[in-house]
Structure 1
């Protein structure tokens, strides 16, 4: 595994994630200038998720067709970054709600068109057995985008909102351009390595063909893995969304202090993600995901057993390490079960469909249990959902043993 290759791919992914993090942090506040309803703001902010579910599998399959050409997937990434930068930078210039929604829609449409494609780039340059470790470094870099977004918000937003919205897309275009210039030269060599032993005709001409193969695959391992991705992503989104109100309702602390409970978890994620990637390479991705779920559940039970600010922070930190295991291995595992190397972009899109759907529904599902049992039992309820997820991944492990994937 070339360290410089991983660095340049990570830089491209870091660039796009910096834009998305700033978008999630500041666009709701921008919408508040025109809309007072939190429900409406939430619906508008969920627009990009819906667009991603529709667009990313199609764009992933299109990138798979380009991947065997000299330029590879890069034209989609480079063009997408340049086009998406425009509506993003125009967001603070919107003086009416229709103009703002148009900018949001245009950004969501164009940014989702290359988001999954960028994440698939690592599969073009890194051998299958090394992709998990590469993902560890990439996820560590992505976690830093939260810090970058926070610094821009802290240092620039109050001085010039228009400048603040211009910085992330400019950085994205520059970083993607640099990555394209460096890695574009190496694509032909990477292509020969990826195609070694994979000369069969490609039967997947559309996303429907990919989905048909996914559903009809005898062991159902890929379909179960999609269900597991949905569950784990949903659990994580629910924990992130409801920890702050849990802190105010159960722990009796302020909103700011409750929001700070997630900080130890973010630090734990950053510290552990790369070592966990190397450990996953030794023990196996699916086995490590099951260990990660078990650790996630253990963290939740710690928080339930002792509802104090300190123990809750420890609980979230332990759960974050468990999620880090999944974050490193989830996409790599789905790639390893793909029918061949020629549909990895489409499978990245399917991963997005599963994870985005889970993140959209997870907070609502956990919220229903909170309404039924009360906030005091939130961590216990989440642990029960975790047990279901563990059972799903246990089935995936057993059934994937019957499958002989050609992609790894």
Structure 2
């Protein structure tokens, strides 16, 4: 157990709130795209595969951009610092792309605008994550990610609950709100960091490329390798759950949309509490220990819906699953912060985003395959109960990788 101050100083609280502010806009904008872009795209094509490819472009960009940008942000230096210029340059691009998407007159134009959004988003993300490692003491890493997780969960919940209402009022409105939130959060961070002491420059040995820096991280740091695999497995769990949980409720269990709306509210509140509480516990007991124990509960809990469709069981378990899911999306980067070399904050942040992208791509694919293959065994839910076996297995496998990282 490590000692942790119960109260943050005013300067620490201000820093963590500033760093967390862009999280709302990032989460809101990405959720608006993934949730409501298909509504717009259906006006141009009836092909579900085409719509899926349009939304799924996120995964492809996530595999290519963060590695290069993260390493690049380790090597550049300006009067604004190493990371902030990337945020200043890409937030307006992402905001403009968001604002233009609902105004597109054809599917190819929309696809170009979506590509520019994803490219700007992932160019923003790795330097933004690296700022945490640059500026936040390791003793505050859990609470820092907890506060960032709260902003992200608020953005996610706002998009899911309010996005549809805004879409009904005026189709461009949710995109404009998301763009404004991203610009505002970025402006607050950039302006708030003025006058903040910049982290000491870390000498760079030679002129290693981003790819070489990432390879060195994977080759020489066993803990980093294990953490990236663990993050991919957790992203697989969360990605598969997001893709099929509503279908499980509607087609598998026959629940009404009113029931689903209530369930999503419980999930949003539970995930927000999970982000907040897990961050505080991580700084007191260690992020890896807290996450590993949470994931054991999470993984075992995910097995139960595979074998029971009881509404009473679901009502009792849903808050726990949501709470653990909030912790699972909050603490992994806090652990990475504690393991990354000082000279490679950006490269490690980019690698973290890529590992998450791999899981996000694999999650829906593997979960969907399990639903199709095991449908005869889970006929009462049209196969959807099989999803929980995949999600439980990936979660418990991530615990093994976390333990390897702790011993590495």
Paired residue secondary structure (1:261): helix
Please tell me whether the aligned partners of residues 269 and 321 of structure 1 are also in contact (alpha carbons under 8 angstroms). Answer: yes
Q: Which stretch shows the higher mean deviation, 350-359 or 299-308?
A: 299-308
Per-residue deviation at 1:357?
Answer: 1.0
Query: Residue 75 in 1 paired to residue 75 in 2?
Result: no
In the alignment of these two chains, the number of paired residues is 390
Report what 1:85 is aligned to: 95
Query: Residue 319 in 1 paired to residue 327 in 2?
Result: no
1:308-344 deviation line (CA, Å, top 9, x unaligned)? 2332243343223223233222112122222x22211
Structure 1 residues 132, 61: CA separation in 2 closer, same or farther (over 3 Å shift)?
same
Matching residue within 80, 86, 108 for 1:98: 108
Query: Residue 57 in 1 paired to residue 67 in 2?
Result: yes
Per-residue deviation at 1:302?
Answer: 3.3
Paired with 2:257 and 2:173, the residues of 1 have a C-alpha distance of 29
Query: Residue 233 in 1 paired to residue 232 in 2?
Result: no
Matching residue within 217, 231, 244 for 1:214: 217
Report what 2:139 is aligned to: 129
Matching residue within 279, 282, 294 for 1:280: 282
When normalised by structure 2's length, the TM-score is 0.88
Please tell me whether the aligned partners of residues 262 and 313 of structure 1 are also in contact (alpha carbons under 8 angstroms). Answer: no
Matching residue within 21, 40, 48 for 1:38: 48
Matching residue within 374, 384, 387 for 1:378: 387
After TM superposition, the structure 1 = structure 2 runs for residues 6-405 of structure 1, keeping only pairs within 5 Å, are 6-66=16-76, 70-150=80-160, 152-186=162-196, 189-192=197-200, 201-202=204-205, 205-217=208-220, 220-254=222-256, 257-258=259-260, 260-338=262-340, 340-374=341-375, 375=383, 376-398=385-407, 400=408
Per-residue deviation at 1:356?
Answer: 1.3
Paired with 1:315 and 1:146, the residues of 2 have a C-alpha distance of 21
Report what 1:406 is aligned to: none
Runs of 4+ residues over 6 Å off in structure 1? none
Per-residue deviation at 1:44?
Answer: 1.0
Q: How much is the aligned-residue C-alpha RMSD, in angstroms? A: 2.3
Paired with 2:125 and 2:98, the residues of 1 have a C-alpha distance of 15
Per-residue deviation at 1:34?
Answer: 0.8
Paired with 1:254 and 1:105, the residues of 2 have a C-alpha distance of 35
Paired with 1:169 and 1:58, the residues of 2 have a C-alpha distance of 25
Report what 2:3 is aligned to: none
Structure 1 residues 80, 283: CA separation in 2 closer, same or farther (over 3 Å shift)?
same
Please tell me whether the aligned partners of residues 27 and 153 of structure 2 are also in contact (alpha carbons under 8 angstroms). Answer: no
Please tell me whether the aligned partners of residues 266 and 317 of structure 1 are also in contact (alpha carbons under 8 angstroms). Answer: no
Q: Which has the higher contact order (CA 8 A, sep 6+)?
A: 2
Please tell me whether the aligned partners of residues 231 and 356 of structure 2 are also in contact (alpha carbons under 8 angstroms). Answer: yes
When normalised by structure 1's length, the TM-score is 0.88
| Structure 2 unaligned blocks of 5 or more | 1-7, 376-382
Q: Which stretch shows the higher mean deviation, 38-47 or 169-178?
A: 169-178
